[in-house]
Structure 1
């Protein structure tokens, strides 16, 4: 800021403040042009970054289309849904199977008898008649061939039954695993012990003063249930597992109950059917094409957007003369068409368009349609073709043709999208497109940077241009300050000269007036 003393035109009567303002407005024209150029660059940067966000979302969709699991989805049915629910993974083979459950997996448990507790349950000593001092209880768990035993000692004069429960539940053995959980139901006045895992095994409680008083010692409890493995039959072959969830040949069974038995007490098998999920594959491909269309439409809208070159970014002075609505309308036109005919965007559209129309060599399979073999080596062979408006680069789906291809040649359709090869022109459509999108995003990033970039320095092409303008604007600010100070010095000098002339004139008038007397 200038330290120059500025005075008004008291001597001359000239409004030189407004004169200097007019002169400075003319001097500021180049700086205003730089500010407008900077604003246009920022708008272009925003447009590029918006497109990169669109491409990033599209890339996520393309990534899913690269995966074989997208095309290997299966649907399953089980005739008797009371014994199990069934799901099939991508590795499951389509076909019909039999499944029967002889018995479910269960965990071991002990249900104690009614204790007959006293009303005061503040400590074990007050709750249990005849119990005092330190008492111990020994609990063993055998689970799938491994046994863990521990003795829990507690001061019954100061600890309650809930302290004992917590000790059992929080016990961590030095070796092996402890899967016993205890609980006490005050309303039922019973202690429960249960294994948190199913499988062959049992829980035992040694006879003793405390165990007998709690009515959970072996032989003195209400019920004792041993754990058991699930036993089931898949295609007539018997299997067992410690859990009620099991996977065989890519098919996962969640066992819910035992099968009905025949006259010989054998589990009656039910039918499980696994089919390729044509609906899911058709839906995935259709959604992919929809996403592709919306992406190229977003790019095309910017590529062919009309440019209003006569509408430049508004200056602060211009904004002050317009209403908010007028400012919005003006700005909308000023921002329009900033990426019109942009070479980066046109290159992106051209590349993805070529990819979507490309032939994928080496796709095996094919299917017969009306006596002719159809090889699924390009999108057009599975019902995905360009629209009537060829220039739009958008595609349309013939769902009947797509469904026929997925049903009759699922391997070929999968290979069309997912075929992997070291050479770009040998890859499947999805792999090529994923490469195209990544390359496009890199080009836009190099051009405009990223709003989510945490680097303090924007080294993109536009970022460097903006920094260059900022440097030039800083130079202009210094230069304009010097020019303005020069104007004020000149007007100040003129004001002082006029003031001196006025003083001399007044002196002369005084002298002439004195001589006449």
Structure 2
């Protein structure tokens, strides 16, 4: 360990001198730290751009799908019968629909049990009916042609009615599906048992072997002969019955899909004088408003992207504002530090070739022609094909250099109404040979964005937690600087130790000279 000196012999402030010498030696190391900070900031900005690209790519992906442009609007004359939605494959037109019967699940409403006041155990709750010891009930459910039966045992001396309810609800058979749910209403003093699914089927409840528990709980049923039930009200499960364009269909569920339409049944149709259900009308049309909105939203997101890229490409660079050192931070207020950092970060991606390439590609794509689009319509004796965005009212603003687009909504709406197939083809057209020039706008953009994201990833990596090893270009540069900084730390420590050894040796030499001078003065004084 090197002895640290403070100039006791010489009176010189060596600590201050060594600090100044080390400050000069640290200049290259500080420059490396500043370079590292700039790389980190550039990496963050690249990754932020990639997140923006990823969000836009999700929108572009939806624009590649034909279903995005095949949105339908439905109107049902009698909304009390059903709610209806149309899928992209639904055909525009008018249909008739009627509900003859709603789907219901089998259910049991027990009679009032006449429980005793103490319900801490089933035995105490049913004491007046002389129920005690281990009792059991057997429940069978038939659903979709499959019957599942189980016997539930309960110790009435230690378990309550809620333990029995939980056992029924949590039963999981090895074979088949258990869709029985039970509950107990303490205020009504009744048990309710029902099928969790609608559709034809039944539930039967019987006393278990050598047990009268089902009778005591007033839930004994016989679905095959409801009139023979000792207690409880019983309803058999039944399928829904409905008519579509005059043809009758059945369903175990009250949600039915037919011909691209999904009906959520809400009630039974009114009957005519002959007792037949009165059909209501369902009208399906192309949803022009939805298609116009999705296209305008897409243009808005495109504009947001190009503005983000342009802002970075033309952002001013303040070369005099290098990243702050620790000593510089100590001399500034928090607000001053924030303002300095803002200028330090500014312009780091100015004229960046990757961002410039992305912006150029997407801009060219948005102005390109898509050959052989489908559809087209005749106007004033002339066939018009929507083979470019400008044909459907999407054009560059007066400030052409900005790359920002604006939408003429009247022209767009007209194109969507008159040529929905052509507008869809403009965005979604594909190529059997993956020929880029044959693809629609969205398909091309998707490739543009993926290519740009790959370039940024190679340059700056990803902030994802799964990306444990950063092999990007900037990541490797940062690692190289880290290695050089470690070498500099070792070197600076050696230099500082050398300075202290040198000043220590000087201090010791001065101390020896002082001692010799004192001895000589003593000798001269004694000789006189």
Provide TM-score, normalisation by structure 1: 0.89
Which residue number in structure 2 is paired with residue 108 of structure 1? 106
- Of the candidates 15, 21, 24, which is equivalent to residue 23 of structure 1? 21
Which residue number in structure 1 is paired with residue 225 of structure 2? none
Q: How does 1:320-399 map to 2 (within 5 A)?
A: 320-399=330-409
2: distance between equivalents of 1:159 and 1:68? 60
1: distance between equivalents of 2:177 and 2:468? 52
Q: Is the 8 A contact 2:111 2:232 kept in 1?
A: yes
Which residue number in structure 2 is paired with residue 403 of structure 1? 413
Worse-matched range after superposition: 452-461 or 161-170:
161-170
Q: Is the 8 A contact 2:123 2:133 kept in 1?
A: no
2: distance between equivalents of 1:22 and 1:470? 25
- Matched residue SS, 2:26: helix
Give how far 1:449 is off.
1.6
1: distance between equivalents of 2:474 and 2:239? 67
- Of the candidates 89, 95, 102, which is equivalent to residue 93 of structure 2? 95
Which residue number in structure 2 is paired with residue 299 of structure 1? 309
Q: How does 1:109-124 map to 2 (within 5 A)?
A: 109-117=107-115, 122-123=121-122
In structure 2, relative to structure 1, the CA distance for the partners of 1:148 and 1:312 (3 Å cut) is closer
Which residue number in structure 2 is paired with residue 194 of structure 1? 194
Worse-matched range after superposition: 25-34 or 98-107:
25-34
How many residue pairs match? The answer is 514
- Matched residue SS, 2:480: helix
1:20-63 CA-partner distances (Å, limit 9, x unpaired) = 33333333322222222222222222221221121122222222
Q: Is the 8 A contact 2:5 2:14 kept in 1?
A: no
Which residue number in structure 1 is paired with residue 475 of structure 2? 463
Give how far 1:142 is off.
4.2
- Matched residue SS, 1:507: helix
2: distance between equivalents of 1:506 and 1:247? 112
Which residue number in structure 2 is paired with residue 77 of structure 1? 75
Worse-matched range after superposition: 243-252 or 326-335:
326-335
- Of the candidates 238, 241, 261, which is equivalent to residue 228 of structure 1? 238
Q: How does 1:55-454 map to 2 (within 5 A)?
A: 55-117=53-115, 122-123=121-122, 126-127=126-127, 129=129, 139-148=139-148, 165=165, 168-170=168-170, 175-204=175-204, 211-215=214-218, 216-218=220-222, 219=228, 220-221=230-231, 223-421=233-431, 422-454=434-466
- Unaligned 5+ segments in structure 1 are none
2: distance between equivalents of 1:157 and 1:445? 69
2: distance between equivalents of 1:136 and 1:453? 54
Give how far 1:198 is off.
2.6
Q: Is the 8 A contact 1:424 1:432 kept in 2?
A: yes
2: distance between equivalents of 1:139 and 1:291? 58
Give how far 1:98 is off.
0.6
2: distance between equivalents of 1:116 and 1:480? 91
Q: Is the 8 A contact 1:124 1:161 kept in 2?
A: no
2: distance between equivalents of 1:365 and 1:236? 34
In structure 2, relative to structure 1, the CA distance for the partners of 1:453 and 1:372 (3 Å cut) is farther
- Unaligned 5+ segments in structure 2 are 223-227
2: distance between equivalents of 1:501 and 1:153? 105
Worse-matched range after superposition: 336-345 or 500-509:
500-509
Q: Is the 8 A contact 2:81 2:99 kept in 1?
A: yes
1: distance between equivalents of 2:72 and 2:243? 22
In structure 2, relative to structure 1, the CA distance for the partners of 1:127 and 1:184 (3 Å cut) is farther
Worse-matched range after superposition: 311-320 or 114-123:
114-123
2: distance between equivalents of 1:42 and 1:405? 48
1:210-244 CA-partner distances (Å, limit 9, x unpaired) = 55555534423354333322221111111112222
Give how far 1:196 is off.
3.0
Provide TM-score, normalisation by structure 2: 0.88
Give how far 1:64 is off.
1.9
Give how far 1:83 is off.
0.8
Worse-matched range after superposition: 22-31 or 178-187:
178-187
Q: Is the 8 A contact 1:84 1:257 kept in 2?
A: yes
Q: How does 1:471-486 map to 2 (within 5 A)?
A: 471-486=483-498
2: distance between equivalents of 1:16 and 1:227? 98
- Matched residue SS, 2:351: coil
1:163-194 CA-partner distances (Å, limit 9, x unpaired) = 55555545555654444444444444444443
- Matched residue SS, 2:18: helix
Give how far 1:86 is off.
0.8
Worse-matched range after superposition: 38-47 or 336-345:
38-47
Give how far 1:245 is off.
1.3
Worse-matched range after superposition: 427-436 or 200-209:
200-209
- Matched residue SS, 2:249: strand
Q: Considering only aligned residues, what root-mean-square deviation do their CA atoms show, in Å?
A: 2.9
